[in-house]
Amino acid sequence: MKLLIQRVLSASVTVDEETVGSIGKGLLVFVGVSGEDTRETADKYLKKLLALRIFEDAAGKTNLSLADVKGELLLVSQFTLYADCRKGNRPGFFKAGAPDMARELYEYMIRQARRVVPVVECGRFGADMKVSLVNDGPFTILLDETLFS
């Protein structure tokens, strides 16, 4: 699994000119699922994501979590996080999870996040999405398989 996390002041996702997800201050998270991921993997990544202290406190230190700032969460599926560009100029995606399995894990993460985060929005799996954001910082973090190695 890979999570590309962006701290945002606002973010939204549109599909066919319809807004399907929109948040204010919080985290925009692009979710990449590999063929080896399980619900246990998703649980570990979600736990880490929600515990990250990447919002600034009154002293300007990144010391607050999403819950501490009453932030919102926008989860967007993105298989291209598994692009392999080592050979040639056309990326390969052989490590990305099969669509049915990836969709199940992505939707599972959304359900689990909604159990603890008051505002959780999402993109539409497999759709051609347009993502808009105002990055706060900018502040971007990649959580990948090295996280639990």
Enzyme catalytic residues? 78-80
Which residue is it, tokens 């066919």? 16
Cα separations (Å) of 36 from 48, 69, 113?
Answer: 19, 33, 21
How many whole angstroms separate alpha carbon 53 and alpha carbon 68? 9
> Which of 65, 71, 30 has the alpha carbon at shortest distance from 51?
65
> What are 84's strand-pairing partners?
92
